[in-house]
Amino acid sequence: MLKRFLKYYKPHKLLFSLDMCASLLVALTGIIYPIITRTMLNDYIPNQKYRLIVFAGLGLLGIYVVRMLLNYFIQYQGHMMGVQIQAQMRRDMFNHLEKLPYSYYDNHETGKIMSRMTNDLMEISELAHHGPENILISTISIVAAFVYLSTINFYLTLIIFACVPLMVAVSLSLRKKQRDAFMHTRVSIARINAALESSVSGIRVTKAYTNAQKEAEKFEEGNKDFIAARKESYNAMAQFHSSTTFVTDIFNVVMLIAGGLFLFGGKIKFADYSAFIVSISLFLNPVNTLINFMEQYLNGVTGFKRFVEIMDEEPEKDEENAANVPKIEGRIEFENVTCSYDDETNVLKNVSMTIEKGQKYALVGPSGGGKTTLCHLIPHFYDIAEGAIRIDGKDIREITLDSLRRNIGIVQQDIYLFNASIRDNILYGRLDATEEEVIEAAKRANIHDYIMTLEHGYDTQIGERGVRLSGGQKQRLSIARVFLKNPPILILDEATSALDNTTEIMIQRALDELCKGRTTLVVAHRLSTIQNADRITVISGGRIVESGSHDELMEQNGLYSDLYRLQFDRDGVNLHLNHEEELLSERPHRKEPA
């Protein structure tokens, strides 16, 4: 893991080298003061060399001016280096997140991911800057202190430094407990962020159902876990600091006793003893720096571990034999396809069907039957367990993901629009489109006239997830996006099910226009929207139970006809949703006709 961390320093080798040189000079200048102090006590003051006292003081002031400039460079440029490393890690994480499959986001909350990208990387940035600097300065200072103190009295120096193993032993014994506590804190912060993201995103639902208290309770659970985690980490940190501080206090006791005995025995002069006491800070200060650095080190290490966890997630990737396909004709074939999300329960079971080029193919059936999963398999959002999906006779695993998805347009019930302008959201369909092409796409989606009534027209900001637009307007904007993309394969996943009848009719016109000349797969609960489909397939329990045209299915007098009659029965229009599951469970599954 250290090797992976160090690679982020490579683009900043020059700045890092200058930072380390500045840190080295700062460490070396720290020894100037005790040297001058000892010289004054032993020579300048007893021999009344007043001129040298002034010169030494002015020289020390000059050194401190240089040290001030070096510290400015370390603090400013060193922190900027840390920021650049943090930015590169954030860039790498974002790019990696963009490559992760759908299944990763099915199992990981957005708030927790954001916590790793913000809080964790901030701690890594601080470690990247202060880590090498503190280690270098402290190490050089400790070595320099040992050398200098040895020149005063070697044996007294050995006695003082004999306490170092005790401090190391205390630090190592408490390190693991502190590291585990900090990891728990990171997890609890991520949980709070996830709860906050969920609550803020669903604020309208919360207000509509007056469930603010419930959301507060859910948030408080995470908050209490955070307090418990912090309590654990601060307890570990308190044990660490109190123990190591006690060890440093022992230094003073040892110094007092040993130094007094040496002075009493005539093994050290009073001036040298005074200089030794002044100089002992050369040793204690870097030791305390390393002790205080331990908390930052543990924060950074735990943050980097969580960063690595994401970076080690297996990204989506093309098969070795995958080829780029610039243009797809649109014939889709499912051959004995089986799919599962958790390797235990199959969502689709041995599904076989063929959608001809330019055909409008409809899927109907109960919720959870596998319709949406089937749609997600065509653009290869998920891998299949068994079987094959072919487009134009070519297995989709032999087509690069980018070229496959460029040829597929998707309009879903749950529309996602970005917090940007209307133009930017339409342009998402094809980023290099001209203004004329954007307007033409909006006209074909029946949204242009509405856009022109807005004060800022296509530059109107629509808010987060298009909150300033109605459901029908958001749907038409998404349709305009697909018009601009102009794909040969179109997937409509319950695109109108959340709309009222009037809006649905308007949207349906835009969808009918969108479907012309494309292979279209339609998922619908409202059977009125798919009567004119070339073929209708009923899916239940992950299997195909019926398939045919509307007239053929009605003649079979099976499940589809029951659902259709129930849905259009004047007395049953409001009841069909309640009875749909009963019908599907009571009626035996039929195999697809040859």
Per-residue pLDDT reduced to its tens digit, 441-473: 998 888 898 999 988 899 998 877 777 888 788
Greater model confidence, 169 or 45: 45
Q: Is residue 162 domain-shared with residue 296, that is, in the same domain?
A: yes
Rounded to 5 degrees, φ, ψ at 467 are: -65, -20
User: Residue 163 corresponds to which amino acid?
Assistant: C
- Dihedral of alpha carbons 562, 564, 565, 571, sign: positive
Domain boundary among 284, 311, 338: 311
Residue 350 region by backbone torsions, left for phi larger than 0, else alpha for psi between -120 and 50, else beta: left
| Same structural domain, 149 and 68 | yes
Quick one: pLDDT at residue 574? 43
Whether residues 333 and 290 fall in one domain? no
- Please tell me the predicted confidence (pLDDT) of residue 341: 77
More confident residue, 435 or 292: 435
The span from the CA of 21 to the CA of 14, in Å, is 11
pLDDT-based confidence at 588, cuts 50/70/90? Answer: very low
Say if CB 401 and CB 482 are below 8 A apart.
no
Order of strands, edge to edge, in the sheet holding 360-364?
408-412, 489-493, 519-523, 360-364, 535-540, 543-548
Contact, 425 vs 380, CB < 8 A? no
Give 582 or 91, the one with higher predicted confidence.
Answer: 91
Q: What is the mean pLDDT of the chain?
A: 81
* Assigned domain for 512 exists: no
Residue 249: inside a domain: yes
Closest CA to 424 of 488, 468, 484: 484
pLDDT band at 66 (very low <50, low <70, confident <90, very high): very high
In a domain, 428, yes or no: yes
Same domain (yes/no): 47, 181: yes
CB 506 within 8 A of CB 472: yes
Angle at 23 between CA 19 and CA 27, to 5 degrees: 170
Q: Which residue among 288, 311, 334 closes a domain?
A: 311
Task: State the Cα–Cα distance between residues 8 and 329, nearest whole angstrom.
Answer: 45
> Which of 5-9, 50-54, 461-465 is predicted least confidently?
461-465
Write down the residue that tokens 């899927």 correspond to: 363
Q: What is the pTM of this model?
A: 0.72
**CB–CB of 521/491 below 8 Å?**
yes
3-state secondary structure string, 506-544?
A: HHHHHHHHHHCCCEEEEECCCHHHHCCCCEEEEEECCEE
**Long-range contacts for 155-164 (Cβ within 8 Å, ≥24 apart)?**
155/262, 155/267, 156/258, 156/259, 156/262, 156/267, 156/268, 156/276, 159/254, 159/258, 160/251, 160/254, 160/255, 160/258, 160/280, 160/283, 161/283, 163/247, 163/250, 163/251, 163/254, 164/287
Within this chain, do residues 94 and 201 fall inside the same structural domain, yes or no?
A: yes
d(C-alpha 23, C-alpha 136), whole Å = 7
Q: How far apart are CA 478 and CA 498, in angstroms?
A: 14
Let me know whether 192 and 51 are in one domain: yes
| Mean pLDDT for the stretch of residues 566-586 | 49
Judge if 285 and 425 occupy the same domain: no
Q: Does 449 reside within a domain?
A: yes
**For 547, phi and psi rounded to 5 degrees?**
-160, 140
531 vs 561: CA distance, rounded Å: 12
Q: Is residue 230 predicted with pLDDT exceeding 70?
A: yes
Q: Is the pLDDT of residue 593 over 50?
A: no
Which is more confident, 350 or 265?
A: 350
* Mean pLDDT calculated for residue range 118-137: 81
Question: Is 256 in the same domain as 337?
Answer: no
345 and 306 in one domain?
A: no
Q: For residue 508, tell me if it sits in a domain.
A: no
pLDDT value, residue 243: 75
Please tell me whether residues 157 and 46 are part of one structural domain. yes
Q: Is residue 23 part of a domain?
A: yes
Domain that holds residue 387: 326-407+490-495+520-594
- Residue 173 vs residue 338, higher pLDDT: 338
Our count of domains for the chain comes to 3
Question: Which one of 252, 285, 311 terminates a domain?
Answer: 311
Evaluate whether residue 511 is within a structural domain. Answer: no
Q: What is the CATH number of the domain that holds 430?
A: 3.40.50.300
Domain containing 170 — which CATH number?
1.20.1560.10
In a domain, 591, yes or no: yes
- Name the phi and psi angles at 548, rounded to 5: 160, -175
Same domain, yes or no: 341 and 207: no
Q: Are 201 and 340 in the same domain?
A: no
- Three-class secondary structure of residue 416 per DSSP: coil
Helix (H) or strand (E) holding 343, with range, is none
| Cβ proximity of 126 and 86 under 8 Å | no
Read off the pLDDT of residues 142-176 as tens digits, 9 standing for 90 and up: 888 888 888 888 888 888 777 777 766 776 676 66
What is the C-alpha R_g of the chain?
Answer: 36
